[in-house]
A and B are shown apart, each in its own frame.
Chain A
């Protein structure tokens, strides 16, 4: 015997300190956290730096990123990129990637799905 069950989950999610970062993504800019102690810049932001410090401040990056490596296929185009001014790498979705671009610029994402998406470009 088998039965089908369907449930709909309408989450109403709050993001606390990360709201500022997510709002930035919906407006098309990259907000990062800069550690006040070692000055490491994390994007996505790390609330506690790897140096152990929890003191930090928000900074706005240019939104331009250099592509380090890309994976493509049926699951879409995703890359690891280095945003200008960031100390960390970032996993991003690549919008309209044709396989030759080496840079990208952050793209505005939907209010309901704030995501790190870049439009690849041939030049910085």
Chain B
């Protein structure tokens, strides 16, 4: 009954865009500034273009096997055993991202608005939403994403628009930053920025119009690339790259700049709302991915009993890193190197395997 509910492609699109753009609230712009100096935005753009290539394989795979998610496809192509291993890899991937995101967002709220609150309180509030949302199913989350999506976008535009008076385009010079080779290298390594697109592999069978799955993913990826690039660039031209690399949450600093005459000042507290919604939607999607990847790779028919257990697991893992900086470094520079291998590498391998499999099938038949 509930499991049969379908989601519209618009809703799925906003969910995916939020998944891939939520990181701009965290230290993503700062990391890019660290990596590429003035060309940080270019790294994002190129990474986006690389991930578009990676996305092609994922999308063709999903198109070839409609009504099946990436886990079922991998079990179908590679057999039960290998498929389960691949599913476990996906599960670990989602688990890591969910935990790290939970930690980072919780820390970001502590730093920005609630300095005296213990991190567990913030995390537990988020987990409550995740549990509640996931028990209701992904279609609810996508509807919420679609409901808030336009306002989130509007908030981005307002933030960037109002910080433009402080901007100076010359801060983007030298245009290539550390040089073309480092840019290419870093952007290839940081396609992880868009690795959350893999959630499309999980929700694809639920999209009402299967023919639009490809477009949904493509548009969401392009929109996410634009948002990420623009935000990184805006941060770089508002602060310079050296100060950006010292700000933990650059976009929070950006919102602090907003003033409208004498009356509206320091509206960053209002932006807490948009920040919160983005964080909750992002983590909701990732949490759903965690649970579905687990339940589908082990052939469970109902994922709901898993929800509480996974929430506890994610809560515990999120508290493992010692500090905020450690979390950020872990997410941005250490673990994230392996994200693209999972979210783009596995679909590529599956795609290749599926071509062979198809030939084999044809010769048999």
Report if A and B associate in a common complex: no
Interface residues of A, Cβ cutoff 8 Å to B: none
